[in-house]
Chain A
Amino acid sequence: MITLKNVTKSFNGNSIVRGIDLSVSEGERIAIIGPSGCGKSTLLRLLMGLQQTDTGQVWIDNEDITQMDIKQLRRMRTKFGMLFQHAALFDSMTVGENVAFPLREILHLPEAEIQARVKDKLLWVEMSGKEHRMPSELSGGQQKRVGLARAIACDPKIILYDEPTTGLDPILSTNIEDLIVKLNKESHTTSIIVTHQISTILRTADKIYLMRDGVLLPPETPESIQESQNPYIKEFISGGLAS
C-alpha cells in the first residue's frame, strides 16, 4: 500500500532523510520513533507530498507520488487524514466548522449529510455537544480529539499521526492512544504514528521503527523493542520509560 524507496531529503545542505526504504501494508499500525529533530515529521510530509523528495520514490497504492503534478497530488491526498502535532485547527472556525471543512471542500456533501457526519465524528471522539465552541476554548487534549475527528471526517484509508500525544498528561495520552487503536480496529485504516513518546508506541503500534540520523533501523515489535540489545534502542527506550 505504501512503499518508500531510497528516499532522501535535505534542507539548506543538511541531510535530514538519508535513503529510507519502508513498506507499510493495508491496515497496519506502524510507529516511527526517534529523538526530536531526527526527521520523523519530515518523513510524514514526504509521504503526503507536502514536501518534495530530493531523490527516491514514494508509492501510494501503486502510484509514485514523486512523479505527480499538483492536481494529482491533491487527488491522492484525499486518501489521507492527518492529525497534526498541535491539532492545527482553523482558529477562525468553530469545532463543528472545522470537522465539516473537508466534507464541504473535498466531498462537497449536502449540508444535512455534513451535519450528520460532524455529529457522528464528534461523538466518536467523545466531543459531542462542542460543535459551537471555538478551538481557543478547548484544552490541548480536546483540540487533539477534534483534530482527529477532522482527520477521519472523510473516512480516509491512511491516517498519519504527528506526535499525537506530545504535551498531554498521561490520562489524555491514553485517551488518544485508545482512539488510535479503536479507529484502526473499527475501520481497518492504515496508521503511521510519529512520536517520541514510548508509552504511545507500546500501546498503539504493531511494528516500530527507530529513526536515527535520517535512517530507519530494522523494525521491532512492542515486545521485542523492550528486549533489544541495540545500545541506541536500549538507551532510547530506558530513557523514555524512566521519564
Chain B
Amino acid sequence: MSFFSSLGQRVLNFVTAWGDVTILTGTVLKRCITRRGYFGRTITQMISLGIKSLPITLLTSTFVGMSFSVQIVKEFLRFGAGEMIGGIVGLAMWRELAPMMTAVVVAGRVGAAISAEIGTMKVTEQIEALEAMSQDPIDFLVIPRVLACTLMMPLLVGMADIVGFLGGFIVAISSNRVNPYAYFDAAQKMLYPLDIYGGLFKAIFFGLAISLISCYVGLNAKAGAKGVGEVTTKAVVFSLIAIFILNYFLSVAIY
C-alpha cells in the first residue's frame, strides 16, 4: 500500500511540476510581449550567463570537433572518401554536436547558477522581500534570465559551430592526407542553410528550457543549504533530460 501511495505521490508531484512549468512558460512568454522594462537586467544576465559561458563553450566545442574528426578521418580515408570529411564534420557540428554540447555545457554552468542563486534568495527571504516591496519575482528574476538565456544560446551555438568545424579541420589536415581546400569545398557542397538555421533554432528552445526549468526549481527551493543543493542538482538533471527529449523531436521536425 505504501509503495503505491509513494508511487502515486511521485507521479502527482511530477505532473504538478510540469503543469507549473507550463504555466510559468505561458506567463513569461506573455509578459515578454506585453510588458517593458527588462532591458537593463536582461543585458546584465546576458553578460553573466552568456558571455561568461563563451570560453568553456568554445573549448568543449573545439575538442568535440577534433574528436569527431579523429574518428572519421581514418575511416573515410580507408574508403577513399577523404574529400567528404569537411562536409560530414560540418553537418554533424551544425546539426547536432554543437547545439547539444553547448546545451549540456550551459545546463551545467548556467542552469546550476540560476537555480542556486534563486534558491538561495528563496531560503534567505530575499524573494519575500521583493514581494514585500511590491515586486513580482517573475518580472524581476525569471524574465531577464529566460530572455538572456534564450537570446544567448543561438549565439553560443553559432560560435561553437565554427570552432568545432575548425577543430575538425586542424585534425583533418594534420593527417597530411586531406586537402585543406577539399575540406571547405565539401562543407560548402554538403551543407544547406537549413542545417545551419536548424541548429540555431534548436538552441533557442534549449535556452528557453534550461532557463525556465532552472528558475522554476530555484523558486521552489526548500529551506537550508541542503535545499539549495537539491535544487541545483534538479535543475541540471531536469534540464539535461529536457534537452535530450527536445533535441529528438526538434530534429524530427526540422530535418
Which chain A residues have a beta carbon within 8 Å of chain B's beta carbons? 45, 48, 50, 70, 74-75, 77-78, 80, 82, 84-86, 88-92, 101-102, 105-106
Contacts and interface: CB of A to CB of B under 8 A. Distances in A.
B134 A77 contact: yes
A91 B122 CA distance: 12
Interface string B15-36: 0000000000000000000000
A84 B125 contact: yes
Contacts of B135: 74, 105
Contact of B133 (A45, A86, A91, A106): A106
Nearest to B140: A105
A74 B134 contact: yes
Residues of B in contact with A, size category: 10 to 19
Contacts of B136: 70, 74
Please report whether the interface of chain A is mostly helix, strand, loop or mixed according to DSSP: mixed
26 contacts: A45-B128, A48-B132, A50-B132, A70-B136, A74-B134, A77-B131, A80-B132, A82-B129, A82-B132, A84-B125, A84-B128, A84-B129, A86-B124, A88-B125, A88-B126, A88-B129, A89-B126, A89-B129, A90-B121, A90-B126, A90-B129, A91-B124, A92-B117, A105-B134, A105-B135, A106-B134
A85 B124 contact: no
Nearest to A85: B125
Given A82-B132, A106-B133, 14 more contacts: A50-B132, A70-B136, A74-B134, A75-B134, A77-B131, A77-B133, A77-B134, A88-B124, A88-B128, A90-B121, A90-B129, A105-B134, A105-B135, A106-B134
Contacts of B133: 77, 101-102, 105-106
A157 to B, nearest CB: 14
Nearest to B129: A88
Contacts of A80: 132
B134 A78 contact: yes
Most buried by A among B120, B126, B133: B133
Nearest to B117: A92
B126 A91 contact: yes
A80 B129 CA distance: 11
A91 B128 CA distance: 14
A50 B129 contact: no
A89 B131 CA distance: 13
Nearest to A101: B133
B134 A50 contact: no
Nearest to B131: A50
A82 B126 CA distance: 12
B125 A77 contact: no
Contacts of A74: 134-136
